[in-house]
Structure 1
């Protein structure tokens, strides 16, 4: 029986931590940094304020854990999109990039939380480290997909395309009617066509109309 009780306690602790992380993300999305405090988070999670320190060293620790959890969630979404695309390298690359233009990545609540994380990353070393790790991981996976498509300078292209995706994602998240997910995906496809070598057996279109 003791092992079962220990497993139950472990599962309960993990669930409580997850509840607090989810509540923090919701508070950041709805109320911003100014409205995100221990009382608001615990009220959202349905626990007493004193319980937070049982699972986290303090609110800064909780916010950092929330940023890491959100980054991990995005990584899982992008990885799943790639797997659904099958084995064709170009389709996998497109799926990875254009997943940012579909739900749940374009959820306005996610934008609210993400902008709070970005703001904190400018002044908090731990948040800055999470930010750097998250973006480095995204670009590294993107570079691998670009290399599989024959890109010569995959690292440089990964930086360029990451910036392009971020800009389009931000516009879509702020205003879903601005140009739409399909248009954003089309812009990425046009960029890939211009930046990548043609697939074997396909010639590049001639320039200048002749």
Structure 2
């Protein structure tokens, strides 16, 4: 009977941590870095500030955990896109790259949170590390997909940087102004680039 109770407590703690992380992402999206503080996060999560301090050493730890959780979420979305593309290497590569132009990656809330993470990655050592790990992982998986399409490992490493920058730029423009060219146009641009480069 005692082990069952401990499992329930652990799940509850995980749920509370997840709730605080989700609230932090929402506050970052709505209010930016300037408006992201313990009071705003706790109000969004519906908890007391003491509960935040129970699960995280402070707001910096919580924001870092939110960046890591958001990066992990994106990884799962991209992996699912590749898995859904079938066995053709070119289709898998295109699915990985163009998932950035489809929901849930195009969620407007994600833009606010992600730009805050990028801003912090310029000055906070922990955020720099999370950013570096996240982008290295994305580029490594992209490199594997490029190699499966016939590029050499050296070519794949260079193309992964180029294509990542292209996708980031298009995603940012699309997130800021969805009317400027649209998601399908972004998909077509990336697919055209891949056809020319790979």
Normalising to structure 1: TM-score of the pair? 0.92
Deviations 1:9-45 (A, max 9, x none): 0000000000000000000000001111001101110
Partner of 1:192: 194
1:162 matched to 2:170? The reply is no
Deviates more, 1:184-193 or 1:69-78: 184-193
The Cα of 1:90 is off from its aligned counterpart by 0.4
CA distance in 1, matches of 2:185, 2:51: 47
User: 1: CA distance between counterparts of 2:191 and 2:122?
Assistant: 32
CA deviation after TM superposition for structure 1 residue 184, in Å: 0.7
- 2:78 paired residue number: 78
- State the match for 1:199 in structure 2: none
Inter-partner Cα distance in structure 2 for 1:181 and 1:35: 30
SS at match of 1:39: helix
- Helix, strand or coil at the partner of 1:85: coil
C-alpha displacement at 1:111, in angstroms? 0.4
Partner of residue 178, structure 1: 180
Deviation, structure 1 residue 151: 1.3
Q: Distance in 2 between matches of 1:178 and 1:157?
A: 26
- Count how many residue pairs are aligned between Structure 1 and Structure 2: 196
Q: Separation in 1 of the partners of 2:84 and 2:18?
A: 27
Structure 2, unpaired ranges of 5+: none
* Cα distance in 2 between the residues matched to 1:34 and 1:187: 35
Matches within 5 A, 1:134-149: 134-149=134-149
> Take 1:46 and 1:30, find their aligned partners in 2: how far apart are those partners?
16
1:186: Cα distance to partner? 0.7
Q: Which string of whole-angstrom CA distances, capped at 9 and with x for unpartnered residues, describes residues 48-87 of structure 1?
A: 1111111001110000000000000000000000000011
Give the structure with the larger helix fraction. Answer: 2
Displaced runs of 4 or more, over 4 A: none
How big is the alpha-carbon RMSD for the aligned residues of Structure 1 and Structure 2?
Answer: 0.6
Equivalence for 1:204: none
Looking at structure 2, the residues matched to 135 and 100 of structure 1 have their Cα atoms a distance apart, in angstroms, of: 14
Bigger Rg over Cα: 1
